Amino acid sequence: MLSLFRNAAGILAIFSLQAAPVVAEVEKKIERPVFTAQLKEYAYPYDVGVYAFESQGQALDMAYMHLPAKPGKPTVLLLHGKNFNGAYWKQTAKHLNARGFGVLMPDQIGFGKSSKPVNYQYSFNQLAMNTRDLIRHLGIEQVIVTGHSMGGMLASRFVLAYPEISTSLILINPIGLEDYLDYTSYPAISDAYARELSKTTEDIIAYQKANYYAGAWNNVYAALTDPLVGWQNGPDKEQIAYVSALTYDMILTQPVIDDFEHISVPTTLIIGTRDKTGPNRGNMKPGTGYLLGQYDVLGEKAAERVKDSYLIELEGLGHLPHIEDFDAFAPALDIAVTREEKVE
C-alpha cells in the first residue's frame, strides 16, 4: 500500500505504509568466477549489440542492450552505476518494455562489456557524448534519461549537454548530490589504483552488504557482485583496477550538483532514504564534522535546486531500490516515466 502527498515545496513523496519485506539472509557460497576485461564469459539478460566508434584516437566498442518501443511510445535510457553494468536493469527493462516503452541499456566505456582503455580521459561529458552518438546510431530521436548512482551524475550531465533529445530526467539514488572534495582530501590515482588492486572477493561482498543492503544478503545481491569478483580473479585484473581508479577520479573531480539549477527538463528524484553512500568517506578532512551521504536530507535539497522537480522518497530502502524491493520501486518509476506526458 502506498501513500502519496505533496508538501509545501511541491515535492511529491511516497512512503510505504507497510514494513519492507524481510529479505532472507541466504548466504551464497563464493564461487570465484573468472572473467576477462570485456566480460565475454558473462551472460546478459537480453541480446547485446556493439557500437564501434573512434574516440580520443582509439577504436572502441560500446556494448548495449536495446528493447524497441511500441509505436508512439518513448525510449527510456538507463545509465548504470560504477559497480555495475547494464545487466542489473533486467527487471526494470522488463517492466518498462511490457508497458510499451523502448529501453536502451548501454555499458559505458570503461564498464561492463565495453572497451576499457587505460589511456583515456574519462569524463562525464565524454561518456555523455559517446551515449548521444549511440542514440543517433540507433535512430532514436529522444530519450527519457534515467541514471542510478554514478549513472545519475552521467544522466545529469547528459541532459545539461543535450536537452534537445532529453524529454525528462530520472535520478535513482544518484551520487553527486554533494561536492565530495569540499569535505574530503583528494586521493592520488596511484593510491586509488593500489586500493582497487588489493580488493578481495570478501572485500567486494562486505562493502556491498554493508553499504547497499544494511547487512542483508541473498543470492540476488550476491549475483550482482560476480562481474567484479570475476575481474579480480581474471587475467586483466591490473587493467580493470586502473580504469576503476580513473573513473573514481571522475566522480570526485567532476561534480554536478552546482549545475542542477541549469537543468531544463522535468526531473524526478527517486530516493531510498536509508542510503548513506559517500564516496571518499575514508579521506575526510580533519575537523570537517560533515556527514556524507545523508540521502534523507540530500534528496530534498537537490530537488529544490531543479526548477521542475518531483522528489519521491522510499522509506526503508537503500542505494539500490530497484534491486532491493522492485515492487516498492515500480510505482515511483511509473510516475517518473510519464512526467513528460503530463507536462505536454
Whose CA is closest to 47, among 86, 81, 95?
Answer: 86
Question: For position 342, what pLDDT does the model report?
Answer: 53
Q: Which phi and psi angles does 225 have, rounded to 5°?
A: -90, -10
Integer angstrom CA distances of residue 13 from 65, 191, 326, 331, 340? 32, 40, 17, 12, 18
Q: What pLDDT score does 190 carry?
A: 97
What are the cell numbers at 148? 542510478
CB of 316 within 8 A of CB of 19?
yes
**Which domains, from first to last, does the chain contain?**
2-343 (3.40.50.1820)
pLDDT reported for residue 27:
46
Assigned C-alpha cell, 65: 542492450
Alpha-carbon distance of 156 to 145, in angstroms, equals 8
pTM to 2 decimals?
0.91
**DSSP strand pairing (166-174 vs 267-272):** parallel
Distance CA 303, CA 311 (A): 6
Ranges of residues in the chain with a pLDDT under 50 are 1-30, 343-344
* Cβ neighbours of 130 (radius 10 Å): 19
Task: State which amino acid sits at residue 340.
Answer: E
Q: Which grid cell is 35?
A: 572473467
Residue 339 is predicted with a pLDDT of 79
pLDDT of residue 31: 58
